[in-house]
Amino acid sequence: MPKTILITGCSSGIGHDAAHGLARAGWRVFATCRQQNDCDRLVAEGLESFVLDYANEDSIAAGLAEALSRSGGTLDALYNNGAFACPGAVEDLPRGALREIFETNLFGVHDLTRRVIPVMRAQGHGRIINCSSVLGLVGIRWRGAYVATKFAMEGLTDVLRLEMADTPIKVILIEPGPVTSDIRQNSVPHFERWIDWRNSARRGQYESGLLQRLYKDRGKPDRFELPPSAVTAKLLRALTAPNPAPRYYVTTPTFMMGLARRILPTRALDWVAGKG
């Protein structure tokens, strides 16, 4: 019987590549998305797909129930990949914007993970892999909301790994840097909904920087950008290694920032991060 994995956020980018890559590697993949039309597209591509929306508790419960129904009640691995960004200066982020992004990027991840743990404990094995980011290691301007969720994910995952050490469940972080995806263009509606940049004290900086990136350069690749297959390769290592590493870095910037965070004093790290 093929091993089973539930993956979130499979409509595009990292999740989409992971779903297809693992299916090719012989895994039975439950590729979930927030929207039914995306699930329909994945089914047409030959994947098993159904809705799972991190922001909706009922959807999380129903999505996991569907996966377990199809698998006969077992699940070998969970890959928490789904997330979105809400760009803007920290001083311009209203409370509602932070509440919304945490509901998806952290609270939903935590909810699904808690529901999966009893299944894995009962079956005697399992791997929980959380997709963090280089922005879970070092903060960069304009990305405060996303950075906050990924810093929180790092801490919560570290503690979960410690607590699961006396169980057969492995807990792993994957930390990509710039990877080809739709996250930038998908962030535009959140920016437009929540950020009142025209009345911001930083309006000039928005006009000379962030607006250019969001509206004119959003299809332009970042420096050191890699295709999502680079993340899938690390995901396969995390899933198959007898003793997986706690963390897997992807892309040069993640390795550089991981090292910088360990060796540089805060002011020097601020200078480096300020160049991003």
Q: Of residues 54, 79, 146, 249, which has the active-site annotation?
A: 146
Pair of tokens at residue 195: 């950020």
Phi, psi of 121, deg, nearest 5: -65, -45
Q: Is 146 among the catalytic positions?
A: yes
CA distance 37 to 39: 5
Give the DSSP letter of residue 30: E
CA distance 87 to 65: 34
What sign for the dihedral angle of Cα 204, 253, 161, 28? positive
Q: Partners of 126 in the beta sheet? A: 169
Alpha helices for the chain (secondary structure H): 13-24, 36-44, 57-71, 95-102, 109-123, 144-163, 183-194, 203-205, 211, 229-240, 252-263, 266-274
Q: Partners of 115 in the beta sheet? A: none
Contact 89, 144 (CB under 8 A): yes
Catalytic site residues? 146
